[in-house]
Amino acid sequence: MATRNGIRQFKDEQDYREHFVIQGEIDKYLPGGKHFIDEDLINRTLAEADATPVDPVRIREIIAKSESTCETLEIAETAALMRVTDPALFEEMRAAADRIKKKVYDNRIVFFAPLYVANPCVNGCRYCGFREGNAQQKRRILTMDEVREEVEVLAGRIGHKRLIAVYGEHPKSSTDYIADSIEAIYKTACKAPKTGAPVGIRRVNVNAAPLPVDDLRVLKDVGIGTFQVFQETYNRKLYEQMHPAWSVKGNYDWRTTCFHRCMEAGVDDVGLGVLYGLCDWRFEVLATILHARDLERWFNIGPHTISFPRLEPASGTRVPEESPWLIDDETFRRILVVMRLSVPYTGMIVTARESPESRNRALDCGMTQLDCSSNIAIKGYSDFSDEAHQEKERQQFMLSDNRSIEEMVKYLADRGTITSFCTAGYRCGRTGGCIMDALKTGREGKFCKINAVLTFREWLDDFAKDPATIAAGEDLIKKELAGIEQWVPKFYPTVKKQYDATCAGARDLFF
């Protein structure tokens, strides 16, 4: 494994635990020792909202503000939205969430797949199958050859272009290894099964432990997409109960300041998330907004995405079944709607942890990205030909939505939603701050629509097997092209030229 300049090496797990966190990189972003997750403020805001009757006029004003400005709401406004239980008023909120999603991202859903690369872990998160000491879990750090084998299935057989690479926290699979594996993923060249066209992974997002600034710069250099770190819970006391003090992850401040360090390192697409089910969801929603606002305050850039993982059964733990804060499907849907209204510009990810019904319903609640044909067992894609295969001892938790990419594409096309495999934003520098304004004004959504059509065309030609999927896709593309012609008549000939070139076999064209 290459050792990159400036990256600290650790002699063993204990050395890593004791020295990995750099206190100065925490303090810099908590001036005066004051944390931006102000728990008293959150609790006061929730109590005030509870003491105030729901006023439909105010709720409609808040909805209108979100829709017209596309700016992050004040937490008191979000707290008011969270109080709405009247079905008719909630339906107004949901419809507005859907309109905002369409204004910012148009009628497309971006596809990605998880790739679990390494599962040894020095932490003891009580809800996670990977935690240290869980003897039921089989451990593995993929070699670079094995990484390539996984990518050959993901990019060469399924047709994914965007991955989220996932890692446990361990000195043997830390920054150098993460950088090596990102490079290996990008370099794996595949051929499409139907056309023989060159295909591969074009964007590698990462979900890993918080890193120091120098390490993040290394990941920036190898072309990381979004860096995701889920906070799990923002409630410090519950956080400490779930993450033992002896573990690196036990350091709440190191985790909460991670995205500030990302921005400092130039990794300006960051992905927030809470593990729903660990704490009162209303507290978590307000804390997420405080986090987003603090990033906006320091860097003028908010979260590129927010994910909505919910606790799922995992090997060797009962926390996912027994936590007192588990939420039902209806509450999950409310969270999505409230978050779409509260952080209107952000991408929203709902993973295959959710059931098919829950994900189908999320489509009308502001969701923008989903994974499919997912296998989260380590080496799962190349070891099992059956895409739905799951093995509790080889994966972090269990998935609920096992639908294949083909099923998902068809389902979306039938409802008039276009699947996007576009990764252009990252390749032409539309990240972080550059993309924020374009998103808020709806400009980015329109660009992306064109790229969605081109990449969808590629996928249909390169990978689609079922004639019914192809027919549904063709119908949708026709409608989309007509829509683009109406929207930008002068520009349309250029779009059509690119589209025709794609049909003739050109690949990776984008706007």
The residue among 369 and 396 lying less far from ligand SAM, judged by its C-beta, is 396
82 binds, among ligand SF4, ligand SAM, none (CB under 5 to 8 A by kind): none
- Our finding on whether 123 is near ligand SF4 (CB under 6 A) is yes
Beta strand 203-207 with 224-228: parallel, antiparallel or unpaired? parallel
CB of 293 to ligand SAM, least distance (A): 22
Give the integer Cα–Cα distance in Å for 26 and 256.
9
- Our finding on whether 169 is near ligand SF4 (CB under 6 A) is yes
Please say whether the dihedral angle defined by the alpha carbons of residues 201, 207, 213 and 215, taken in this order, is positive or negative: negative
Phi (first) and psi of residue 306, to 5 degrees:
-125, 130
Neighbouring C-beta atoms of residue 173, cutoff 10 Å: 23
Q: Which two tokens stand for residue 506?
A: 């050109």
CB of 166 to ligand SAM, least distance (A): 5
The residue among 230 and 384 lying less far from ligand SAM, judged by its C-beta, is 230
Q: Residues 6 or more apart from 61 whose CB is under 8 A from it?
A: none
131 binds, among ligand SAM, ligand SF4, none (CB under 5 to 8 A by kind): ligand SF4
CB of 309 to ligand SAM, least distance (A): 5
Give the integer Cα–Cα distance in Å for 35 and 22.
17
CB of 351 to ligand SAM, least distance (A): 8
CB of 19 to ligand SF4, least distance (A): 17
Candidate list 117, 118, 128, 438; residue touching ligand SF4; CB under 6 A:
128
166 binds, among ligand SAM, ligand SF4, none (CB under 5 to 8 A by kind): ligand SAM
Helix, strand, coil percentages for the chain (3-state, nearest 5): 50, 10, 40
Residue with token string 């997750």? 37
Give the integer Cα–Cα distance in Å for 325 and 330.
14
CB of 18 to ligand SF4, least distance (A): 17
Among the residue ranges 117-125, 145-153, 356-364, 475-483, the one whose residues contact ligand SF4 (CB under 6 A): 117-125
The residue among 72 and 123 lying less far from ligand SF4, judged by its C-beta, is 123
The residue among 249 and 261 lying less far from ligand SF4, judged by its C-beta, is 249
The residue among 73 and 378 lying less far from ligand SAM, judged by its C-beta, is 378
Give the integer Cα–Cα distance in Å for 338 and 285.
8
- Our finding on whether 155 is near ligand SF4 (CB under 6 A) is no
Q: Which stretches of the chain bind ligand SAM, using CB under 6 A?
A: 127-128, 166-169, 207-209, 229-230, 232, 275, 309, 311-312, 314, 320, 353, 396-397
CB of 209 to ligand SF4, least distance (A): 6
Give the integer Cα–Cα distance in Å for 465 and 149.
22
Distances (CA, A) of 451 to 235, 357, 437, 447, 503: 40, 28, 19, 7, 14
Contact assessment for residue 287 and residue 319, using Cβ atoms and an 8 Å cutoff: no
Sketch the per residue contact string, 235 through 254, with ligand SF4: x for CB under 6 A, - otherwise.
--------------x-----
Please say whether the dihedral angle defined by the alpha carbons of residues 424, 427, 431 and 434, taken in this order, is positive or negative: negative
Among the residue ranges 17-25, 49-57, 104-112, 118-126, the one whose residues contact ligand SF4 (CB under 6 A): 118-126
Q: Which two tokens stand for residue 452?
A: 């969605």
- Contact residues: ligand SF4, CB under 6 A: 121, 123, 125, 128, 130-131, 168-169, 249
